[in-house]
Amino acid sequence: MKRRLGTMIVLLSVLGGCGWLPSSEPTQSWTLEPVPAVTGQPVRVDGVRVLTPQVPDLLAGRFILVVPEGQPPGVYAGARWSSAIPRLWRDHLLSALQRDSRFSRISGDEVRLAADKLLVSRLDAFQVEYQQREPQVVIRGYLQLVDAESRRVLAERSVDLRRQADSGELPDVVAAFSRLSADMVDQIRAWLLETAAGNTATGEPSA
């Protein structure tokens, strides 16, 4: 594992809840590949505001996190996400919904347009984890669809996805993140569409 990771990983040194991270080195900025647009289908979900997810401290920045087996969390040296992880996650999902003709009046929490429903989320993992010396990208969290006026939870679900990367090299890791994020978007879109159909049919919240 040490040979495969080489000098790409900088371990985090955590003392009293404060982490030391490198800041003076040159950095490369990485982002997720956009999800293909969906066109020519009628609107089925309308008026949703996608909120920035709640995250633990380690996920609040732009570092590309990695958790080697039996070692403390680390980061890929000289590399960052194009924006902080909560915003990266929100904007990726927001873009996918806005470019899908089945969804209308989709906004984020920075603009705060009028919305009927809120997509509330918690992101617990957005990182590389090593399992039996193999790198896997992991996205884990929880979603709630909430009525914007009454604050009643209409539906909720967990997200727990992982995908093996071709190697621990950074381009392969980012490519795996893009593929896994596309899987996540597919699941969330399907859940929102199913929730909308269920609520229309019954008028009751769904799980």
The answer to whether residues 73 and 67 touch, using CB atoms and an 8 Å cutoff, is yes
Residue 192 domain flag? yes
SS3 176: helix
pLDDT given for residue 70 in this prediction: 85
The answer to whether residues 172 and 190 touch, using CB atoms and an 8 Å cutoff, is no
Asked whether residue 2 carries a pLDDT value surpassing 50, the answer given is no
Q: What share of the chain is helix, strand, coil (3-state, %, to 5)?
A: 25, 40, 35
SS3 46: strand
Residue 51 domain flag? yes
User: What digits encode the pLDDT tens for the residues 24-68?
Assistant: 566 899 999 999 999 999 999 999 999 999 999 999 999 999 999
Asked whether residue 140 carries a pLDDT value surpassing 50, the answer given is yes
Residue 171 domain flag? yes
Q: What is the mean pLDDT of residues 71-89?
A: 95
Residue 36 domain flag? no
pLDDT given for residue 111 in this prediction: 85
- The domain total for the chain is 1
Residue 154 domain flag? yes
Report the candidate in 159, 108, 109 with the shortest Cα–Cα distance to residue 138. 159
CB contact set of 189 (below 8 Å; sequence gap of 6+) = 96, 97, 100, 102, 103
For residue 200, what pLDDT band results from cuts at 50, 70 and 90? low
pTM for the full predicted model = 0.85
**CATH number for position 57:** 3.40.50.10610
Where do runs of H (alpha helix) occur along the chain?
Answer: 2-5, 85-98, 170-202
User: Which residues form the domain of 130?
Assistant: 43-61+83-202
pLDDT given for residue 17 in this prediction: 32
Higher pLDDT, 26 or 191: 191
pLDDT given for residue 27 in this prediction: 84
Residue 30 domain flag? no
Share of the chain above pLDDT 90, in %: 76
170-202 and 85-98 helices cross at what angle (nearest 10)? Answer: 50
pLDDT given for residue 25 in this prediction: 64
The burial class, CB within 10 Å (0-12 / 13-18 / 19+), for 128 is buried
Residue 28 domain flag? no
User: What's the first-to-final CA gap in the chain, in angstroms?
Assistant: 41
Six token digits for residue 87: 């915003």
The answer to whether residues 76 and 17 touch, using CB atoms and an 8 Å cutoff, is no
* CA–centroid distance for 145 within its chain: 16
Residue 128 domain flag? yes
Average the pLDDT over each of 1-15, 103-117, 161-175, 177-191 and give the range with the smallest value.
1-15
Q: What is the mean pLDDT of residues 168-174?
A: 96
The answer to whether residues 139 and 126 touch, using CB atoms and an 8 Å cutoff, is yes
Q: What is the mean pLDDT of residues 79-91?
A: 97
